[in-house]
Amino acid sequence: MNPQTAILLSLGIPLSGALLIALFGRQPNLREGVTLTTAALLFGTVITLVPGVMDGARPTVTLIEMLPGLPLRFEVEPLGMMFALVASGLWIVNSIYSIGYMRANKEAHQTRFYVCFAIALASTLGIAFAGNMLTLFVFYEALTLSTYPLVTHKGDAAAKQGGRTYLGILLFTSIGLQLLAILWTWQVAGTLDFIPGGILAGKVSGPVVGVLLLLYMYGIGKAALMPFHRWLPAAMVAPTPVSALLHAVAVVKAGVFTVMKVVVYIFGIDLLAESGQNLWLMYLAAASLLIASLVALTKDNLKARLAYSTVSQLAYVVLGAALATSWGVIGGSMHIAMHAMGKITLFFCAGAIYTAAHKTEVSELSGLGRVMPFTFGAFLIGALSIIGLPPFGGLWGKWYLALGALEAGQIAMVAVLMISSLLNIAYLMPIPIKGFFGKSPDHTEGGNPGPVAIKEAPLPCLIAIGITAFGCLVLFFFPDPLYRLLRPLGF
């Protein structure tokens, strides 16, 4: 298969899958078989592009030229290759998990759920392989619209309110700010192509760099940079597989991916560093990182705590971009993949707890780890990876971010990374500790626990949780392929 065909198939496979899922909607086994087959075919197609990109190839496909110099074009470069691998790989795992979750909880509108999921993955691959800012913007908007029915899936008042917040903030930021930045970039640079070193170098300087950077960073609302972050906790009304999609597979990762693309290929790290306009973004990212962690500490609802954890973790990627150093870019980019694996594990575990025990609050989890040892053990692994402790993959993103901060001479940012890891411990570790060592409601009067009957979530949920928890371990011992893929971004 030639690379150009693989690019087109990466967009066409999930769209064709969505059509077939709708066609077999009244036959659940067949519908879900199509979902799994589509996800596997997509991942297999994406993988065929890896060897060429690793060897320096940049395969390109142009669909149409809407205006002179403004084509709808795709180009596979290292950052997009990494994002496509993360999204397509985790779609398989999320699909396995969704089958167990949706059936066990007897969720309505399951066909619509799987259809929208497939369309969202097509949009995500369009973002990953976008060859210019216009193409990225088109698929960025498609992702927002295709995930709205997923956020409002339950159809109750809370879901509708959460959906309005989700759609309102994301459309306002992208159309009101990002689109303005794109038009301004086209006007001054004469192109929107993603070019190493940036297209704005020598075209803008001084405060103009800062204004454009502000428009882009807040226009990319999916990155959840404070104060445009409220859509993310609001969207937690959705079923847990959707939360996993939002936090690990597609939406927020599309946001920070776009941040990194803009910094590397639109501005260029040299322009940002020389202008000094990266400093305000650096300190804003650091503030978001710490404030969101402190807010997470106050949340008793498990999904809300994980949502604010995600706001904090996304700021790591923005910080890596704002450092405007080679190591910072590599660290922020690696953190996209490392955080995806750890956070999807945590959300899978939260959904398993809800499915098996109908618990949603951290204060309700005492002793539950003895009833659900597999789930809470996996939660511990995911938490340790998010914290950045060995032997789990979350270490490497933070490691390179710290090197990037030292390269930029920003010792304060190293301190921020260390403090944030301590805050990660403070809001994540009480959950497995409470689960394994907390006093169960069924304790006997003498203080000894009564008989414990293991009651885990359905098998498909446990399979998915096991895969992603193991992935956190694999990424620690085998980070080199990811590093070699991303190295051209900074050097």
Q: Could you write out the three-class secondary structure of 373-398?
A: HHHHHHHHHHHHHHHCCCCCCHHHHH
Dihedral over Cα of 97, 100, 104, 107: its sign:
positive
pLDDT of residue 421: 95
Is the separation of the CB atoms in 449 and 359 below 8 Å? Answer: no
Q: Are 324 and 264 in contact (CB under 8 A)?
A: no
**Contact criterion met (CB below 8 Å) for 101 and 113:** no
125's tokens = 């691959």
Query: What is the pLDDT at residue 378?
Result: 97
Q: Distances from the Cα of 111 to the Cαs of 24, 93, 118, 335, 381, in angstroms?
A: 8, 18, 11, 33, 32
DSSP at 156: S
Integer Cα distance of 43 and 48 in angstroms: 9
**Would you state the pLDDT for residue 451?**
58
Q: How far apart are CA 335 and CA 325, in angstroms?
A: 15
| Furthest-apart CA atoms within the chain: distance in Å | 80
pLDDT in the model for residue 156: 84
pLDDT of residue 245: 76
What pLDDT, on a 0 to 100 scale, did the predictor assign at position 452?
66
Question: How many CA atoms does the CB half-sphere of 123 hold within 13 Å?
Answer: 25
Per-residue pLDDT of the chain (491 residues; tens, 9 = 90+): 899 999 999 999 999 999 999 999 889 999 999 999 999 999 999 999 999 999 999 999 999 988 888 999 999 999 999 999 999 999 999 999 999 988 888 888 889 999 999 999 999 999 999 999 999 999 999 999 999 999 998 888 988 998 999 999 999 999 999 999 999 999 999 999 999 999 998 899 889 999 999 999 999 999 999 999 999 888 888 788 888 877 677 889 999 999 999 999 999 999 999 999 999 999 999 999 999 999 999 999 999 999 999 999 999 999 999 999 999 999 999 999 999 999 999 999 999 999 999 999 999 999 999 999 999 999 999 999 999 999 999 999 999 999 999 999 999 999 999 999 999 999 999 999 999 998 876 544 444 555 567 889 999 999 999 999 999 999 999 999 999 999 998 77
Comparing CA positions, the residue from 237, 236, 240, 18 lying closest to residue 125 is: 18
Question: Is the peptide bond between 227 and the residue preceding it cis, with omega within 30 degrees of 0?
Answer: yes
Do 486 and 380 touch, CB atoms closer than 8 A? no
> Which residue in this structure is represented by tokens 């804003």?
284
pLDDT at 240: 82
439 phi-psi bin (left φ>0, alpha ψ -120 to 50, beta other): beta
Q: What SS3 class is residue 465?
A: helix
Do 245 and 332 meet the contact criterion of CB atoms below 8 Å apart?
Answer: no
φ/ψ of 193, rounded to 5, equals -65, 150
Quick one: pLDDT at residue 446?
Answer: 43
Q: Identify whether the C-beta of residue 407 lies closer than 8 Å to the C-beta of residue 324.
A: no
> At CA 222, angle to CA 220 and CA 225, rounded to 5?
75
Q: In whole angstroms, what is the distance from residue 240 CA to residue 252 CA? A: 15
State the residue for tokens 């949920």: 461
Q: Checking DSSP bridges between strand 60-67 and strand 70-75, what pairing results, if any?
A: antiparallel
Q: Residue 391, preceding bond cis, omega within 30 degrees?
A: yes
CA pseudo-torsion sign 196, 201, 204, 209 = positive
- 107: Cβ contacts below 8 Å, ≥ 6 apart: 101, 113, 153, 239
Reading phi first (left if > 0) and then psi (alpha if -120 to 50, else beta), residue 444 is in: beta
Write down the pLDDT at residue 454. Answer: 83
Where along the chain do its domains lie? 277-491
The residues that bridge with 361 in the sheet, in sequence order, are 301
Report how far apart the first and last C-alpha atoms of the chain are (Å, whole number): 30
As a three-state string, the secondary structure of 133-151 is HHHHHHHHHHHHHHHHHHH
For 66, phi and psi rounded to 5 degrees? Answer: -70, -40
Q: Name the residue type at position 98.
A: S
pTM of the model: 0.94
Token duo for residue 77: 């470069």
* 3-class DSSP assignment, residue 122: helix
